[in-house]
């Protein structure tokens, strides 16, 4: 029997639903609220660290310079090698200075002979002047001649010592132990003692210095925080400094802060600081650019958020998105140092605030959201057991936010 659609009187909406079901598509029902991943900030005890730019500098630099004039006969070291204190580096032609030593020795012998004659004459005149066999003037002249002879002997001795010193300068030695660079003169070159020709450079590299600067404003804030008790001073015997190399890796050996400068650079308003690091393998070389991670205090009620929770504002500041009663709001904050990939918030947040970490693409300030605990892929403990998280979402719904964010991006 033939039955028409009019006779069945099937509603059009039911027909459309059946057609969509046949195509394998489900009708989109009321969509849920946007999913975001959040953390609840809680007070922690964290070290206050500051990253400051710096340069590596040798502990001691010794410029090897010529102290006598002459021809370089031989270079006695291998360039780029480690030398010991007193090791021979260069030999300068000593012929002229050996002759000067012999001449000084001869002058000393002559002075001693003259002194002997003058002293004998004065001694001979002494009884004669008492017997009035010679005049007092002749005796005084003999005594003066003997004293002049003593002075001549002393001058000749000094000249001989000077000649020997100059002869010793023809053998150039290392004043300190360290690493020596390339020779700055060649064999056969003429070096000038009067101009102190530089011949090489020796640098002591273990330990090694790192010089860096800090702004006066930051230093003043640090001192105020220490004075008010907000920060606790780190013990003087602890290793306070860590190096971050140019490639982002961390230097394995910790160092210590030696001093903070007392003079401010008028051009940059910076204060100079210096740290010392062990360098047994000569991994750090003078002139290298590094960042010094300086531990300047300990804060017992610090609030920290992951780095990706911060957003840059149009005016150049930073802000975070806070969730309260399922509604979002953008809150400007101020940051301090960074600790293990998290920024320490110094102003703008309070303990217990719920901060969005992931899901920014799906929300804007003033809209309701569904919050689930954030799980750090690098450290599952963060956002899980260590931080209290809000929301009543089940475990099965927690990973939905990262997956949705990946598709939105």
For residues 11-27, one letter each, b for 16 or more C-beta atoms within 10 angstroms of the residue's C-beta and e for the rest, the string is eeeeeeeeeeeeeeeee
Q: What is the tens place of the pLDDT at every residue in 337-367?
A: 677 778 788 788 888 888 888 888 777 777 8
Query: Max Cα separation, the chain?
Result: 181
pLDDT beyond 80 at 405: no
What residues contact residue 273 under an 8 Å CB cut-off, 6+ apart?
52, 211, 212, 213, 214, 257, 259, 260, 261, 292, 294
Burial grade of 224 (CB within 10 A; 0-12, 13-18, 19 or more): exposed
pLDDT beyond 90 at 113: yes
pLDDT beyond 50 at 96: yes
Mean pLDDT of 168-177: 93
Round to whole Å and give the CA distance between 401 and 398. Answer: 7
Q: Supply the DSSP symbol for 235.
A: P
Domain ranges of the chain: 35-57+206-408, 67-90+172-196, 94-169
The highest-confidence range among 230-234, 294-298, 323-327, by mean pLDDT, is 323-327
pLDDT beyond 80 at 409: no
CATH topology of domain 35-57+206-408: Elongation Factor Tu (Ef-tu); domain 3 (2.40.30)
CATH topology of domain 94-169: Helix Hairpins (1.10.287)
pLDDT beyond 50 at 9: no
pLDDT beyond 90 at 93: yes
List of long-range contacts for 157-164, beta carbons under 8 Å, 24+ apart: 157/108, 159/104, 159/107, 159/108, 160/101, 160/104, 160/105, 160/107, 160/108, 162/104, 163/97, 163/100, 163/101, 163/103, 163/104, 164/101, 164/104
Question: In this predicted structure, what is the pLDDT of residue 192?
Answer: 92
Q: What is the pTM of this model?
A: 0.58
Question: In this predicted structure, what is the pLDDT of residue 397?
Answer: 34
* Architecture in CATH of 67-90+172-196: Beta Barrel (2.40)
Least confident interval from 165-169, 172-176, 334-338, 352-356: 334-338
What share of the chain has pLDDT > 90, as a percent? 24
Question: In this predicted structure, what is the pLDDT of residue 242?
Answer: 82
Mean pLDDT of 126-149: 86
H-run or E-run covering 111: helix 95-130
Question: In this predicted structure, what is the pLDDT of residue 322?
Answer: 87
């Amino acid at each position: 029997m033939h039955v028409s659609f009019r006779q069945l009187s099937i509603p059009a909406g039911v027909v459309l639903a059946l057609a969509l079901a046949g195509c394998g598509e489900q009708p989109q029902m009321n969509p849920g609220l946007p999913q975001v991943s959040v953390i609840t900030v809680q007070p922690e005890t964290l070290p206050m660290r500051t990253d400051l730019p710096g340069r590596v500098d040798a502990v001691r630099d010794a410029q090897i310079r010529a102290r006598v004039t002459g021809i370089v006969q031989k270079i006695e070291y291998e360039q780029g090698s480690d030398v010991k204190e007193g090791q021979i580096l260069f030999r300068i032609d000593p012929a002229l200075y050996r002759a000067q030593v012999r001449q000084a020795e001869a002058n000393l012998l002559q002075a001693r002979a003259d002194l002997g004659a003058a002293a004998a004459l004065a001694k001979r005149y002494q009884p004669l002047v008492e017997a009035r066999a010679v005049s007092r003037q002749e005796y005084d002249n003999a005594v003066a001649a003997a004293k002049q002879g003593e002075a001549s002997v002393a001058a000749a001795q000094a000249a001989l010592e000077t000649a020997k010193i100059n002869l010793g300068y023809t053998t150039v030695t290392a004043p300190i132990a360290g690493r020596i660079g390339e020779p700055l003169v060649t064999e056969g070159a003429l070096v000038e003692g009067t101009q102190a020709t530089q011949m090489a450079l020796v640098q002591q590299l273990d330990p090694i210095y790192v010089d860096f600067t800090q702004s006066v404003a930051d230093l003043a804030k640090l001192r105020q925080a220490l004075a008010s008790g907000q920060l606790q001073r780190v013990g003087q015997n602890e290793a306070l400094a860590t190096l971050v190399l140019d490639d982002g890796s961390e230097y394995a050996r910790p160092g210590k802060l030696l001093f903070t400068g007392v003079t401010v650079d008028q051009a940059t308003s910076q204060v100079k600081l210096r740290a010392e690091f062990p360098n047994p393998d000569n991994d750090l070389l003078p002139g290298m650019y590094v960042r010094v991670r300086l531990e300047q205090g300990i804060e017992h009620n610090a609030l920290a958020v992951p780095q990706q929770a911060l957003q840059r504002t149009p005016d150049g500041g930073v802000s975070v998105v806070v969730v309260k009663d399922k509604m979002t709001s953008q809150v400007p904050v101020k940051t301090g140092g960074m600790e293990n990939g998290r920024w320490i918030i110094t102003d703008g947040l309070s303990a217990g605030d719920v901060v969005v970490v992931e899901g920014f693409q799906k929300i804007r300030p003033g809209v309701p959201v569904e919050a689930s605990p954030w799980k750090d892929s690098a450290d599952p403990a963060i956002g899980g057991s260590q931080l209290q998280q809000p929301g009543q979402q089940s475990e099965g719904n927690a990973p939905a936010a990262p997956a949705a964010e990946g598709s939105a991006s």
